[in-house]
A and B are shown apart, each in its own frame.
Chain A
Amino acid sequence: MAENTILPPLAERSGALRWLRKNLFGSWVDSILTVVGALIIFWVVKAVLVWVFTVAEWQVVTTNLRLFMVGQYPLEQVWRLWLALAFIMFLIGNSLAIWARKSYLITILLIAFPLLLALLPFGVEPRKWMIILTVVGVIGWLIGRAKPQALSRHVIIGWIICLPIFILLTRGFTPQEGFMPIVQTNVWGGLLLTFLLTIVGIIFSFPLGVLLALGRRSELPAIRITSVLYIELIRGVPLITLFFMAQLMLPLFLPTGVTIDRVLRAMVAVILFSAAYLAENVRGGLQAIPKGQFEAAQALGLSGFKTMYFIILPQALRLIIPILVGQFIGVFKDTSLVAIVGLFDLVGIAQTVLSQPEFLGLQREVYVFISLIYWVLSYGMSYLSQQLEIKLGVGKR
């Protein structure tokens, strides 16, 4: 009899009021803290909203939107950038369909992102292109969904040739007149320049950093000492001094009459700097791999290169994804220093926009706007990396 009367556990009574009482007004102290906190939040939010919607003069941003996006890049050639973006969008659609079939939220977010941007006060032309971008993304996704197996190899190749294509389209290839006239780097600017500096910095510093990390652990003294010297020297100076070296000192050392493109100089400085940091991060990952892994690889008869390539590096790099992403976000934001040496990246453009006589004294609007751009992109990177970690199961194994 007694065995049969097993009572169900007491159901947690839920409800908004109960939750409030438990979490926010549990005691007198809690209540006071809640009220004070709510008031502070109210004041701050109200002040911000009032400023954003009534005081701020956003005209400085809407009028100069093009400068913020592409700098002085000639308007009649901007379609090339859109074309490059469309190619990337297609790849994104493809990749999502192939490798992230279940992640509907990310898929929708990424593909609809241009459409959301079209809600902002851009002109007719950019809006048209934004809609095209979303359409291309959807087409890419549908194609990827139809034939995931057959396509995956092509998509990887697509991603690899994506940066060269982007740079080729941005720069053009026919001199002066013609189908795609060359656009000199001195008119590359705004988000375009920030973006290129970041991407080039990340992509080229990565292999260099891995090589340096391996070099530092090498048993050959020459390689080891070179790597250590490089890492410690570059890591020992601030990035801005590298930029100054590249922009101020380098021209004096070059043979007379020879000049190297300024944007290229900045790119090289970013790559060299980032590689030194990345090398140490990768070394940390390498050290976390148990010795048994090396011994097992050796026992299987793998060569040194194969051991690294197939056994050690894949594990080490997976371990340091959060650190790598942190560093990449750092690179993205560090590129803003090129404004100090006279390049028109996002910050550089902001400074010159602030010198336009009709928009003097609107520092707040301009800096809030570019901060927002930096934040959206940085958070985007962070979010995607978290999804990647979940996908790879980092932290679970």
Chain B
Amino acid sequence: MRKTLWFISIVVIASLALAACGGGATTSTDGGETVTVVETVVVEVTSSAPVVVAPTGFGVTLETVKARGNLICGVNSQVPGFGYVDANGAFSGFDVDYCRALAAAIFGDASKVEFRPVTASERFTALQSGEIDILSRNTTWSLARDTELAGNFVHTTFYDGQGIMVPVDSGITTLKDLEGGTICVQTGTTTELNLADVMAAEGVSYTPAVFDDADATFAAYAEERCDAVTTDKSGLVSRRTVLADPSAHVILDVTMSKEPLGPMVRHGDDQWFDIAQWTVFAMFDGEEFGITSANVDDIKASATAPEVKRLLGVEPGMGLKLGLSDDWAYNIIKLVGNYEEVYNRNLGPDTPTYIPRGFNSLYTDGGLLYAPPVR
């Protein structure tokens, strides 16, 4: 009997230990000096908590990532088109592809990235505590977040904003066409105020039909109790797909508020910030110079424009400044694609989650995508 007891307790301990190794308690190796920053930070959930920021310092994050052999990217798993798990078990989406681009820039291998689904409430904690290297999870850039959450926003990758959806057969194409119409809107949100401001500026009179929650708002729209419905564009897209006939509704090419969404990194490692930033710019440049994953090899071989040569590493030196190899941008475009390819793959006209480009067009097309020169 005693023997059995001993046996049981050993087994219990052994399996606890096994479970503990599941991910293992890992101590990150930082070659440089360890800077521990302790500061009072206002986190959204926990009103005011002392936050121990993970070791950061110039170059530490890149070193850690390289030593680990993969990038850990905090993503969303529940936003159609931006971040979700597809039927093969792989993460997909616009924000997810950015992580792949970053991995491509660092390792020359877009698959060396581990996706960590983080919820809205835990995303900043995960970034601060070093559980993730970068947060790419449709996070709106705002002053409070930029300062208090011990993070820096990289250049915006997607300019979201309040949009408006109408039935295709209504023939409405601009806000002016809504003169005298009814618009379904959720009450008590900035959405309602934005709508009023924009319509006043446009000089269009309308009747707002207000509802307490999003479900009721869209149910009313589905029952044709109003001529149009308004909320953030990315929200409109996922709502449209659940309507009886999604193709019968169109999102107008109008943006009524500012919701710049972009990746976020920790305070304290400027090199890492630069890498994350220029990964975005390399994707913009790819589209601007017409470099796609399909033709990047040809262009690299025959490039004459100095900027393209510098970007693709034909003329060396640029990658080194970021702490990367010279073919960093080549790898991004080759393995993941330029901005247009990534956009169309996830949010383009051929996808169920189609969002017109709007502000997310190159500055040459009247959009806001403008990358500083590579030199």
Measured CB to CB, the residues of A under 8 A from B are 63-64, 66-67, 71-73, 75, 157, 160-161, 163-164, 167-168, 171, 184-187, 200, 204, 207, 244, 247-249, 251-252, 254, 256-264, 267, 340-342, 344, 348-349, 351-358, 360-361
User: Do A256 and B55 have beta carbons less than 8 Å apart?
Assistant: yes
- 20 more contacts with CB within 8 A, not counting A185-B23, A342-B117, are A66-B89, A67-B89, A157-B7, A167-B15, A167-B18, A171-B18, A200-B19, A251-B126, A252-B125, A256-B53, A257-B30, A259-B130, A342-B77, A342-B122, A351-B78, A353-B85, A355-B78, A357-B81, A358-B352, A360-B241
User: Do A163 and B15 have beta carbons less than 8 Å apart?
Assistant: yes
User: Do A254 and B80 have beta carbons less than 8 Å apart?
Assistant: no
User: Do B55 and A249 have beta carbons less than 8 Å apart?
Assistant: no
Residue in B18, B26, B27, B121 whose CB lies within 8 Å of A248 = B121
Q: Which residues of B contact A361 (CB under 8 A)?
A: 241-242
Of chain B, the residue at the smallest CB distance from A358 is B352
Given contacts A164-B18, A200-B19, A256-B52, contact A355 B80 (CB under 8 A): yes
User: Do A67 and B122 have beta carbons less than 8 Å apart?
Assistant: no
Given contacts A67-B89, A257-B27, A261-B24, contact A360 B8 (CB under 8 A): no
Q: What is the distance, in angstroms, from A28's C-beta to the closest C-beta of chain B?
A: 43
Given contacts A247-B122, A248-B122, A357-B353, contact A256 B89 (CB under 8 A): no
Q: Which residues of A contact B90 (CB under 8 A)?
A: 72
User: Do B23 and A260 have beta carbons less than 8 Å apart?
Assistant: yes
Given contacts A66-B89, A361-B241, contact A352 B78 (CB under 8 A): yes
| Cα separation A353 to B78 with both chains bound (whole Å) | 8
| Cα separation A353 to B131 with both chains bound (whole Å) | 25
Between B11, B77, B89, B116, the greatest number of chain A beta carbons within 10 A of the residue's beta carbon is seen for B89
User: Do A344 and B117 have beta carbons less than 8 Å apart?
Assistant: yes
10 A-B pairs with CB atoms under 8 Å apart are A67-B89, A75-B89, A204-B12, A256-B54, A259-B131, A261-B25, A264-B20, A344-B117, A351-B78, A355-B238
Residue in A258, A351, A355 whose CB lies within 8 Å of B27 = A258
B112-133 contacts to A (CB < 8 Å): 114, 116-119, 121-122, 125-126, 128-131
Would you call B278 an interface residue if the criterion is a C-beta within 8 Å of the partner chain's C-beta atoms?
no
User: Do A264 and B23 have beta carbons less than 8 Å apart?
Assistant: yes
Would you call B207 an interface residue if the criterion is a C-beta within 8 Å of the partner chain's C-beta atoms?
no
| Cα separation A328 to B116 with both chains bound (whole Å) | 29
Given contacts A204-B12, A262-B23, A264-B22, contact A355 B84 (CB under 8 A): yes
Residue in B11, B116, B128 whose CB lies within 8 Å of A164 = B11
Q: Which residues of A contact B147 (CB under 8 A)?
A: none
Of chain A, the residue at the smallest CB distance from B29 is A257
| Cα separation A130 to B161 with both chains bound (whole Å) | 50
Q: What is the distance, in angstroms, from B249's C-beta to the closest C-beta of chain A?
A: 13
Q: What is the distance, in angstroms, from B179's C-beta to the closest C-beta of chain A?
A: 32
| Cα separation A357 to B16 with both chains bound (whole Å) | 40
Given contacts A186-B114, A264-B22, contact A252 B121 (CB under 8 A): no
User: Do B89 and A360 have beta carbons less than 8 Å apart?
Assistant: no
**Count of B residues near A, CB < 8 Å?**
61
Would you call B14 an interface residue if the criterion is a C-beta within 8 Å of the partner chain's C-beta atoms?
yes
User: Do A357 and B7 have beta carbons less than 8 Å apart?
Assistant: no
User: Do A164 and B14 have beta carbons less than 8 Å apart?
Assistant: yes
User: Do B80 and A267 have beta carbons less than 8 Å apart?
Assistant: no
Between A185, A204, A352, the greatest number of chain B beta carbons within 10 A of the residue's beta carbon is seen for A352
| Cα separation A259 to B20 with both chains bound (whole Å) | 12
- Chain A interface mostly helix, strand, loop or mixed? helix
| Cα separation A264 to B114 with both chains bound (whole Å) | 18
Given contacts A160-B7, A342-B119, A357-B352, contact A261 B77 (CB under 8 A): no
| Cα separation A73 to B88 with both chains bound (whole Å) | 10
Of chain A, the residue at the smallest CB distance from B79 is A355
Q: Which residues of B contact A349 (CB under 8 A)?
A: 85
Residue in B28, B34, B55, B242 whose CB lies within 8 Å of A360 = B242
User: Do A257 and B55 have beta carbons less than 8 Å apart?
Assistant: yes
User: Do A168 and B46 have beta carbons less than 8 Å apart?
Assistant: no
Return the 7 tightest CB-CB contacts between A and B, nearest first.
Answer: A261-B23, A361-B242, A251-B129, A355-B84, A360-B241, A257-B28, A164-B15
Between A73, A157, A164, A360, the greatest number of chain B beta carbons within 10 A of the residue's beta carbon is seen for A360
B82-104 contacts to A (CB < 8 Å): 83-87, 89-90
Q: Which residues of B contact A251 (CB under 8 A)?
A: 125-126, 129, 131
Would you call B320 an interface residue if the criterion is a C-beta within 8 Å of the partner chain's C-beta atoms?
no
| Cα separation A316 to B5 with both chains bound (whole Å) | 20
| Cα separation A355 to B234 with both chains bound (whole Å) | 12
Would you call B196 an interface residue if the criterion is a C-beta within 8 Å of the partner chain's C-beta atoms?
no
| Cα separation A64 to B242 with both chains bound (whole Å) | 19
Q: Which residues of B contact A263 (CB under 8 A)?
A: 22-23
Q: Which residues of B contact A259 (CB under 8 A)?
A: 23, 25-26, 129-131
User: Do B34 and A256 have beta carbons less than 8 Å apart?
Assistant: yes
Q: Which residues of A contact B14 (CB under 8 A)?
A: 164
| Cα separation A160 to B30 with both chains bound (whole Å) | 42
Q: What is the distance, in angstroms, from A269's C-beta to the closest C-beta of chain B?
A: 13
Of chain A, the residue at the smallest CB distance from B86 is A356
Q: Which residues of A contact B30 (CB under 8 A)?
A: 257
Residue in A161, A186, A248 whose CB lies within 8 Å of B23 = A186
User: Do B118 and A342 have beta carbons less than 8 Å apart?
Assistant: yes
| Cα separation A17 to B30 with both chains bound (whole Å) | 85
Would you call B294 an interface residue if the criterion is a C-beta within 8 Å of the partner chain's C-beta atoms?
no
B238-280 contacts to A (CB < 8 Å): 238, 241-242
| Cα separation A187 to B91 with both chains bound (whole Å) | 11
| Cα separation A244 to B119 with both chains bound (whole Å) | 11
| Cα separation A161 to B15 with both chains bound (whole Å) | 9
Q: What is the distance, in angstroms, from B223's C-beta to the closest C-beta of chain A?
A: 16
Q: What is the distance, in angstroms, from B95's C-beta to the closest C-beta of chain A?
A: 12
Q: Which residues of A contact B77 (CB under 8 A)?
A: 342, 344, 348, 351-352, 355
User: Do B129 and A357 have beta carbons less than 8 Å apart?
Assistant: no
Q: Which residues of B contact A355 (CB under 8 A)?
A: 77-80, 83-84, 238
Of chain B, the residue at the smallest CB distance from A156 is B4
Q: What is the distance, in angstroms, from A397's C-beta to the closest C-beta of chain B?
A: 25
**B224-243, CB under 8 A of A: which get 1 and which 0?**
00000000000000100110
User: Do B89 and A63 have beta carbons less than 8 Å apart?
Assistant: no
| Cα separation A249 to B128 with both chains bound (whole Å) | 11
| Cα separation A361 to B20 with both chains bound (whole Å) | 38
Would you call B190 an interface residue if the criterion is a C-beta within 8 Å of the partner chain's C-beta atoms?
no
Q: Which residues of A contact B83 (CB under 8 A)?
A: 355
Would you call B368 an interface residue if the criterion is a C-beta within 8 Å of the partner chain's C-beta atoms?
no
Q: Which residues of A contact B121 (CB under 8 A)?
A: 244, 248
Q: Which residues of A contact B175 (CB under 8 A)?
A: none
Q: Which residues of B contact A167 (CB under 8 A)?
A: 15, 18-19, 22
Would you call B172 an interface residue if the criterion is a C-beta within 8 Å of the partner chain's C-beta atoms?
no
